[in-house]
Amino acid sequence: MDYKEIIKKIKKKELKNVNLFYGTENYIIDNIVKIIKKDLIIDDFEALNYQSLEGEQATVDNIINACETLPFMGDCRLVIVKNMELFLGKRKSISEEEEKRIIKYFSNIPSTTYLVFTSMEGVDKRKKIFKEIKKYGEIGEFNKLVGSDLYKWVEKHFKEKGKKIELKNIRMLLEGIGYEEKNSPKTLRDVENEINKIVGYIGTNQVVNRKDIEALSPKTLENNIFILVDCLGTGKIKEALSILNDMVLQGEPIVRITHMIIRQFRYIYQVKLMLNKGYTNMAIGPKLGIQSFVVSKYVKQSKEFTLKRLKEILDELANTDKAIKSGKMEPKLAVEIFIVGSRS
């Protein structure tokens, strides 16, 4: 069940008494817990009707005791249990008997108590406790937003602050943050922080434009590599050297920069090969495991190089990488020599 369905259930007063919310997007999980709390608990009596358990406190005895406590001056009691080890592959501090006990309790939980388990990690869906919660309650898996859901989320957050932003500028903002990059640690909390910065920056202006984003959006390593390769394709060697120098000053290791440049040219080479074989942009993305808007950028860059030249560049990069790792050449100098000779 996704976050939109869960929120609908909360608003319709259809939330089950036992719930499990897990996934990599902790911002969504935290936000849903806040919505549930606001819907169920009266602020003045929060200390009496709301309890959060985590770590050593999250014992089976404490969970059951918290759930059995009757609500005071309110209709409901909310108990949150964070990152309980029972949902992971290995059991450490909770015995098999205790696991059976908490599972049995799900069918007897008071109607006035709402028990919500949250996990910022993946959970083992084979575990009996997972299957029992699915039987008696609701399970929501919340990972990164993608595609239209992500763009609508960004647009909505700007709209709530009285600002408008075009789709192309949303894409630019997300690229700068690096939210959509594979294995990126960025969450919607990082995106929200950037939105707040931009809103504060533009003041009374109602429309967010490209210059506003460029002025404030952080440039990720991957974004810098895209710009560097763009410079190489158009012969802007001085600009490429300047970008390299900036990345080094920002603390990026040369070995990682070299790896990312190799990765970039490898993708460009693969995209150009597939284009020559008649593949469309939409078909290339799934084949290479990259999103369509990124494919479009690779397609654009591939036009600046012939297949022959791309193969030569990959060979030159392999030699550069070897020279760095073997200690035959100073790392930064090796990459600078590659950049200077890239248009030859």
| Strand extents, DSSP E, the chain | 18-22, 50-54, 77-82, 113-119, 138-141, 164-165, 207-208
How is domain 3-141 classified at the CATH fold level?
Rossmann fold (3.40.50)
Residue spans per domain, the chain: 3-141, 147-216, 221-340
What SS3 state is found at 296?
helix
Write out pLDDT tens, residues 170-216: 988 988 787 887 667 789 999 999 999 999 999 999 999 988 987 88
* Among the four given CATH numbers 1.20.1070.10, 1.10.8.60, 1.10.3720.10, 3.30.1490.70, the one describing domain 147-216: 1.10.8.60
What is d(CA 10, CA 31) in angstroms, rounded to the nearest whole number? 12
What SS3 state is found at 249?
helix
Q: Which residues contact 137 (CB under 8 A, 6 or more apart)?
A: 16, 17, 18, 19, 20, 106
Residue 91 has pLDDT above 70, yes or no: no
Of 87-96, 114-123, 335-344, the poorest mean pLDDT is in: 87-96
Instruction: Please state which architecture CATH assigns to domain 221-340.
Output: Up-down Bundle (1.20)
- Contact between 84 and 91 (Cβ < 8 Å): no
* Topology alike, domains 3-141 and 221-340: no
What is d(CA 68, CA 17) in angstroms, rounded to the nearest whole number? 13
Q: For the chain, give the percent of residues with pLDDT over 90.
A: 56
Q: Which two tokens stand for residue 152?
A: 């609508």
User: Distance between the two ends of the chain, CA-based, in angstroms?
Assistant: 54
Write down the pLDDT at residue 219.
64
Residue 113 has pLDDT above 70, yes or no: yes
Q: Closest by alpha carbon to 223, among 202, 206, 189, 246? A: 246
Write out pLDDT tens, residues 138-170: 999 998 898 889 999 999 999 999 999 999 999
Prediction pTM value: 0.67
Between 90 and 156, the more confident residue is: 156
